[in-house]
Amino acid sequence: MTLITDTVNRSADTEAPLLVTLAERWSPRGYDANAVIDDSTLTTVLEAARWAPSAANMQPARFIVTRRGSAGFTTIHDSLTGFNKAWADSASVLIANVADATMKPDQDNPWASYDLGQAVAHLSIQAQHEGIHTHQMGGFDAAALATAFGLGGKQVVVSVIALGMLADVATLSPEVLERESTPRTRKPLGELLLAND
Ligand SMILES: Cc1cc2nc3c(=O)[nH]c(=O)nc-3n(C[C@H](O)[C@H](O)[C@H](O)COP(=O)(O)O)c2cc1C
C-alpha cells in the first residue's frame, strides 16, 4: 500500500455528482491535539442536529458534549475500546450520542436510534461544512458512560463522535497513517437497490 501524504483530500469516488460537503466527508483518525473548536462553531454544529427530522417530531437525540481537557472528555475517552483509544484523545471534542426512547411511560419510541443517527449525520455534515472533521465510533463501553453521566429511563448511548481538525500528516504514527491510507470504498450503488423499478 502507498502511504498517503495528504489527508486533506480523501474525497469519495462517486457514481453520480454529490454535494461537495458530502463527497469530502471522511472519518480521519489523525487529529491536531492542539486545535480548539470555538464555542460558536460548536453551537452551529449542534444546532444542525437539533433541526434534523424525527418521527412525530419526538426529537429523541441527546448529546453529552465534552471538550479536550475536561473531565467529561476523559470519561468518554476512557470508555473507548480497541484502537479508538489510541487516536481519539487528539480530537478537540468528543460527544456521546444518546437516544432517549421515551414515547409513553410503557411504550418505547421505535425510531429513537434511527432519528439519533439522522441527527448525527446532520451534525457531521454541518461540521464538514465548517471545516471540522468527524469520526463516529461504536467501540466504547455504553454501560460505563451511562453510569458516569447518570443516564436513566430509556436513555442509551448509541455512539460516540470525535470532532477535530486534521493533524499534519507528517506527525501521524505509522499505525494511524496506515489506516488513513486505506482506500475509501463502497459497495456499488446497484447492490444497495433491492428494487429500482
Ligand atoms: C455507528 C458507527 C460506528 C463506527 N465505529 C467505529 C469505531 O469504533 N472505530 C473506528 O475507527 N471507526 C468507526 N466507524 C467509522 C466507520 O468505520 C467509517 O465511517 C467507514 O469505514 C466509512 O469510512 P468513511 O467515514 O471515511 O467514509 C463507525 C461508524 C459508524 C457510523
pLDDT at residue number 2: 76
Lowest-pLDDT range of 48-57, 101-110, 184-193: 101-110
Could you read off the pLDDT of 76-119 as tens digits, one per residue?
A: 999 999 999 999 999 999 999 999 999 887 889 999 999 999 99
What homologous superfamily does CATH list for 36-181?
NADH Oxidase (3.40.109.10)
Q: How far is the CA of 54 from the centre of ligand 1 (A)?
A: 23
| Residue whose C-alpha cell reads 486505506 in the numeric block | 182
Q: What pLDDT is recorded for position 8? A: 67
Residue 6: pLDDT above 80? no
Averaged pLDDT for residues 7-14: 85
| pLDDT at res. 105 | 79
Taking residue 67's Cβ as centre, other Cβ atoms within 10 Å add up to: 16
Which residues approach ligand 1 with their CB closer than 6 A?
A: 26-27, 84, 136-139, 159, 184
Which grid coordinates are listed for 140? 466504547
CA dist 152 and 107 (Å) reads 15
> What mean pLDDT is reported for the chain?
96
Mean pLDDT of 108-133: 98
Checking if the pLDDT of 175 tops 90, the result is yes
pLDDT at 61: 98
Closest approach atom of ligand 1 to CA 135: 15
From CA 156, how far away is CA 58, in angstroms rounded? 16
Distance 134 CA to ligand 1 centre (A): 10
Relative to the CA of 158, which ligand 1 atom is closest? 1
Kindly indicate the confidence band of residue 14, based on its pLDDT and cuts at 50, 70 and 90.
very high
Domain boundaries, the chain: 36-181
pLDDT in tens, 54-83: 999 999 999 999 999 999 999 999 999 999
Give the pLDDT confidence score for residue 103 in this predicted structure: 83
pLDDT at 129 over 70: yes
**Cα–Cα distance for residue pair 103/83, rounded to 1 Å:** 36
Cβ(193)–Cβ(113) below 8 Å = no
Mean pLDDT of 135-160: 98
Residue 135 Cα to ligand 1 midpoint, Å, equals 7
In the chain, the N- to C-terminal Cα span, in Å, equals 40
Atom of ligand 1 nearest to the CA of 27: 26
